[in-house]
Structure 1
């Protein structure tokens, strides 16, 4: 069921992206796409609560709320076409929709198609094992997606491949109208770097867990805390570099932030008024 919702959301966003701008009904298609997309994100906390990953619980709920804010804004833009792009030379919601559609088209096949899922996870597992051996650690592959060392085993899953972050940057970069050289430079500064850094992250988690660097809770501390903080810092730096190469992305991010902050201020004002 949730897989169907994902593909419906992507299809509606693509319709919005490819439909000529003179047809304002594309805003309704985009809005519907974001609503379906929010359903997907609001479904995710169930999984993360099961594995006690509360950081991602908060993250996916936040993403779901952002989806609804963009959907609401696109409905207003459909009703009042003149408000599109006010205060900015570009259509922020349409650009965000295109970026999301393109990123999703790259990500969802890996998430939903078994042969691609298995290939990607297997490749990351092999690359991680190779690095461990290069560092002279006695790790071994105990299954196609599991690495064992010192009696401890770590399973590599899709979330360990950084495919979400890679898809995000691909969508953002591909949605920008810029010279090919700039787009290529932004791609090289993000996608390969993210993949390599993610292999380093997986290596760190396995070593920290197998060597029990942080005691009985070594995996939780290494994976849920240190690795996530490190990944966040790395993605921030990569995003900064990409935006220096493609300053058009700054306008998109600023525009989305203004939409979110404006909505938050309205909600807070209503709450304050009710009190």
Structure 2
């Protein structure tokens, strides 16, 4: 799944919460002591994927497939539980559709694994590593705070380069993450604050999982990871600056657009610019960006085409040879025999 992408938006008198998948020894101990639980379904699914990886490594392929199949079903149920939030709170059509589609796709993936498609264990491994990268940021407050406040500071610096300097104060999440625009000097009287989904960690986790899951020389894997993380960071910074300015200054407060969104989508009139900038423009461009970054990563590390072929098979039911199509046949790893 694509990662959730979000910025929270607040008014001058109230807050509308939006949320959204090497320290020293002393800091590590403090971090572990502050771990907060999230949806146990997510933990259960990731744990199941990792257990399946261990079984596969030991040569127990059939039990590995069965366990991974169950983990995929749990993973799908987890995404289904996110639908009410994406639809009612985040008001994001794209994320709502993706969350709804996740359950049947995950169940089908589990069905294929149970039926003998052991090559899907590679995709299961990639998802497990994605979760291992993302979940600590979601569940360990000291990491989450650092990511959010660092992202907010960088976005503020980006706005300063464009001639805006609102300052930063405490957001509803308790972090120094809210851009302190004067409501009397803006069109909507609203401002935004950074949440975890605004940090880009979700997209970074996707590529981190894909890259780490395949067998390839370490130098090429590190190069691909550096490229992916660097591009995601830059584009994420530009996105945060765009949304942070579009919301208070009402870049999309055109009368016809406000009328349509308030009438047919139940949006608050002064929140329209935020919703258009965040839920429509930014999220759509994020999908395009992920495809472009994937292409760049493939040029460095074509081995990631293997789990992507499995994604295409789940989506279409058709076998695709991406290695051949992109002229990377020599990089194709030996396929596991389906049992």
Query: Which of the five TM-score ranges fits, normalised by the shorter chain?
Result: 0.7 to 0.9
Paired position in structure 1 for 2:214: 176
Displacement of 1:191 in angstroms is 1.2
Following the alignment from structure 2 to structure 1, what is the Cα–Cα distance between the partners of residues 149 and 134? 16
**Cα displacement string for residues 199-238 of structure 1 (whole angstroms, at most 9, x for unaligned residues):** 1100001111222111152111111111112212211110
Aligned residues: 251
The reply to whether residue 97 of structure 1 matches residue 124 of structure 2 is yes
The counterpart of 1:57, out of the listed 96, 100, 105, is 96
**Does the 8 Å contact 1:103/1:168 carry over to 2?**
yes
Give CA-to-partner distance per residue, 1:36-91, whole Å, 9 cap, x none: 111111111111112211211001122232211111111111xxxxxx4xxxxxx5
**Structure 2: how far apart are the matches of 1:115 and 1:170?**
21
For residues 135 and 252 of structure 2, the distance between their equivalents in structure 1, rounded to whole angstroms, comes to 35
Give the match for residue 194 of structure 1: 232
**1:150 Cα deviation (Å)?**
4.3
Classify the secondary structure of the residue corresponding to 2:192. Answer: strand
Equivalent residue, structure 2, for 1:22: 59
Residue of 64, 86, 89 corresponding to 1:48? 86
What do you get for the CA RMSD once the two structures are aligned?
Answer: 1.7
1:132 is displaced (CA, Å) by 1.2
Residues 144-200 of structure 1: CA deviation (Å, up to 9, x unaligned): 121132423102111111211111110000001011121011101101220221111
Aligned residue number for residue 49 of structure 2 = 13
> What is the CA–CA distance in structure 1 between the aligned matches of 2:102 and 2:304, rounded to whole Å?
19
Gap change, CA 1:159 and 1:197, over 3 Å in 2: same
2:199 aligned residue: 161
Ranked by relative contact order (alpha carbons within 8 Å, sequence separation 6 or more), the top structure is 2
Q: Contact 2:210/2:307 (CA < 8 Å) preserved in 1?
A: no
Tell me if the contact between 1:127 and 1:199 (Cα under 8 Å) persists in the aligned partners.
yes
Q: Is the 8 A contact 1:27 1:75 kept in 2?
A: yes
Q: Distance in 1 between matches of 2:236 and 2:139?
A: 21
Q: Secondary structure at the match of 1:153?
A: strand
Determine the C-alpha separation between the residues in 2 that align with 1:148 and 1:92: 51
Q: In 2, Cα distance between the equivalents of 1:235 and 1:184?
A: 18
Task: Please state whether the residue corresponding to 1:182 is helix, strand or coil.
Answer: helix
Given the superposition, is the C-alpha separation of residues 259 and 111 from structure 1 closer, same or farther in structure 2, using an over 3 Å criterion? Answer: same
Match of 1:110 among 137, 160, 173: 137
TM, length-normalised to structure 1: 0.86
Contact 1:92 1:256 (C-alpha < 8 Å) held by counterparts: no
Query: Is 1:75 paired with 2:102?
Result: no
Matches of 2:40 and 2:283, distance apart in 1: 30
Question: Equivalences for 1:172-251 in 2 at 5 Å?
Answer: 172-215=210-253, 216=270, 217-251=272-306
How many angstroms apart in 2 are the aligned matches of 1:207 and 1:57?
25
Instruction: Report if aligned partners of 1:34, 1:67 keep a CA contact under 8 Å in 2.
Output: yes
Q: Secondary structure at the match of 2:165?
A: coil
